[in-house]
Amino acid sequence: MQVLQSKGADIAKIAFVLLLAAVATQAQTDPASEGENFRGMVRYADNTAAQFIKVELWTEGASTWRITAITDRDGKFVVGTPCMVIQFKIELPGYRPVSGRDDLSRSPCRATESLTVIPLKKAGEDASTAGPVDARIAAIPPDAKKEFDAGQKAIRDNDFAGAIPHLQKATDTYPKYAEAYQLLGLAQLQTNHGPQAEAALTKAIEIEDAMPRAQYLLGVLYAMTGRPALAEKPLTRFADLDPKNPDAHFELAKVSFALNKFPEAETHARKSIELKETNPGVNVVLGYALLRQKKAADAKQAFQQFLAQDSKSDMATDVKNVIAQIDQRANK
């Protein structure tokens, strides 16, 4: 068993690094084939879920594809869209219209949007009467909003480098612009400016803690840079804010594994699978977590499930070797 554990430890380390890299590049199974490639979360300015409202989505160009999604009790919607440029809008009486576009014509043909519907200001109402979150948003100067919109458009066009100056100017103009800091962090991550991204995402969360995307990005950044102990807090917060998102538990499974918290890693991996995580690597994390708990038979099942889903993976050879060692040990 000592040989199996030693070899398994080496392979686990390699697999863990490969899995982190896979998440960073979003190298997952194309969810478009499963009809759930566009996910969204809609909230009001006070961060409560915008339940049962219509979100219209349609293709840009000659195609006539169009669909209307309805948010659930958590303010979320999931739809399958063509791998094209997708436009969306929300028009809710008494609220400012929300609209945007995502270019899904490039791999991996998926998008996630976090949208906020803001009430129209009533005559005689000032920002101080609208509550703390609404007051902050209502106080955004027009110049800062203009720069934010320009940065957001650049990101939707995959021009991350071009987005950075606009978003930096937005935060300089309005230092409480949490949403601009969040997008700035994303753009900086995409352009390999890790320390700057960390600072921007940290600032976003300091201003507004209830930002699932910022918590997720900061947690993944910590994990990617070898700081799993720091990653645990933002990823746990991400899971609290978005409990039905399988990525939250997948990330926590990897972080728990890196911290030698193998029962917790198993729990998070199983929860991610239950929530239909599309990255088959979650089974590798589950397998190693089980193996470290000396649950060899269960670990073998997890590894076999991974191979059934992704037999051509770079990790397939290592996983097959571990299965062979499990079988060898069982036959002694």
pLDDT at 260 over 80: yes
Residue type at 34 in one-letter notation = E
pLDDT at 82 over 80: yes
With residue 100 as reference, give the H or E element that holds it: strand 98-103
66: β partners: 58
How many angstroms separate the CA atoms of 29 and 17, rounded? 18
Higher pLDDT, 324 or 10: 324
Residue 152: predicted pLDDT: 84
How many angstroms separate the CA atoms of 260 and 15, rounded? 15
CA distances from 74 to 42, 43, 248, 309 (A): 8, 9, 16, 30
- Tell me what the mean pLDDT of segment 293-299 comes to: 94
How many angstroms separate the CA atoms of 292 and 45, rounded? 45
CA distances from 50 to 38, 121, 176 (A): 17, 18, 23
- Tell me what the mean pLDDT of segment 100-110 comes to: 84
- Tell me what the mean pLDDT of segment 323-329 comes to: 90
Higher pLDDT, 212 or 177: 177
Residue 121: predicted pLDDT: 65
pLDDT at 16 over 50: no
Local confidence band at 81 (pLDDT 50, 70, 90 cut-offs) = confident
Please state which of the ranges 2-6, 101-105, 125-129, 261-265 shows the lowest mean pLDDT: 2-6
pTM for the structure as a whole? 0.65
Q: Give burial (CB, 10 Å; 0-12/13-18/19+) of 68.
A: exposed
Q: Give burial (CB, 10 Å; 0-12/13-18/19+) of 18.
A: middle
Instruction: Please count the CA atoms within 13 angstroms of the CA of 159 that sit on its side-chain side.
Output: 11
pLDDT at 288 over 70: yes
pLDDT at 23 over 50: no
Average confidence score pLDDT of the chain: 82
Give the chain's domains with CATH numbers.
Answer: 33-119 (2.60.40.1120)
Tell me which residue has tokens 């409480």.
176
pLDDT at 12 over 50: no
Give which of 191, 193, 169 is closest to 181, Cα–Cα. Answer: 169
Report DSSP state, residue 313: S
User: Is the Cβ–Cβ distance between 189 and 182 less than 8 Å?
Assistant: no
Q: Give burial (CB, 10 Å; 0-12/13-18/19+) of 219.
A: buried
Q: Which of 12-26, 46-60, 220-234, 303-317 has the highest mean pLDDT?
A: 220-234
Higher pLDDT, 217 or 108: 217
39: β partners: 78, 112
